[in-house]
């Protein structure tokens, strides 16, 4: 009697293990626990393809940002920030084109829009 119970539990255990393993294999790739893929890198050429108010990327300080959603919230008029879309805007960002840096608050906002790193060193 005990032997039957033991065998029954063993079979049930291995069925459960197989079900969990099989289930994770069937899950869509995004939900599988895969090794962390390396962060995407973009070239200035990639960035340059996103140069409008409807699709605005900027490279700033060696990182790439997708800023389309932020543009309408920027305090300065669009004419100030739009020319930087699709470019390495490190200098424009660091000086506001007026020789004054953005605040730490601006830097924290910027971080939210980061999508990857720039593959080439940024211009100072
Ligand atoms: C790259 C081109 C950019 C230029 C030329 C630029 C320029 C300016 C100017 C002229 C002002 C208003 C005047 C002033 O506060 O001194 C300003 C303010 C501000 N900008 Fe930008 N900006 C740029 C990008 C950005 C980005 C990407 C962010 C954040 C995601 C940002 C966030 C802010 C904030 C929060 C302010 C309010 C003042 C501060 O906190 O520094 N700006 N910017």
- Residue 14 — pLDDT band, cuts 50, 70, 90? confident
Average pLDDT over residues 23-42: 64
- Structural domain boundaries enclosing 83: 41-118
Does 9 have pLDDT greater than 70? no
- Per-residue pLDDT, 24: 55
Q: Let me know whether 47 and 18 are in one domain.
A: no
**How high does pLDDT run on average in the chain?**
85
Task: Say if 36 falls within a structural domain.
Answer: no
State the pLDDT confidence band at 123, using cuts at 50, 70 and 90. low
pLDDT at position 38: 78
Å from CA of 72 to ligand 1 middle: 12
Tell me how far apart the alpha carbons of residues 107 and 112 are, in angstroms, rounded to a whole number: 9
Which atom from ligand 1 is nearest to the alpha carbon of 104?
40
Tell me the average pLDDT across 39-44: 93
DSSP symbol at 97 = T
Is the C-beta atom of 44 inside 6 A of ligand 1?
Answer: no
- pLDDT tens-digit map of 44-79: 999 999 999 999 999 999 999 999 999 999 999 999
CA atoms of 16 and 19, how far apart (whole Å): 5
Q: Strands 87-88 and 114-118, how do they pair? A: unpaired
Residues 47 and 93 in one domain: yes
Extract the runs of DSSP E, i.e. beta strands, from the chain: 41-42, 51-52, 55-60, 63-66, 87-88, 114-118
The CATH number of the domain where 46 resides is what? 3.10.120.10
């Amino acid at each position: 009697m005990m032997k039957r119970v033991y065998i029954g539990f063993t079979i049930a255990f291995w069925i459960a293990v197989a079900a969990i393993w099989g289930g994770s294999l069937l899950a869509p790739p995004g939900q599988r626990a895969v090794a962390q893929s390396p962060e995407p890198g973009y070239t200035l050429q990639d960035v340059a393809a996103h140069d409008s108010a409807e699709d605005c990327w900027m490279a700033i300080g060696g990182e790439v940002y997708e800023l389309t959603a932020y543009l309408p919230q920027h305090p300065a008029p669009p004419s100030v920030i739009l020319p930087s879309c699709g470019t390495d805007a490190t200098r424009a960002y660091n000086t506001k084109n007026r020789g004054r840096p953005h605040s730490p608050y601006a830097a924290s906002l910027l971080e939210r829009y980061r999508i990857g790193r720039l593959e080439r060193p940024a211009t100072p």
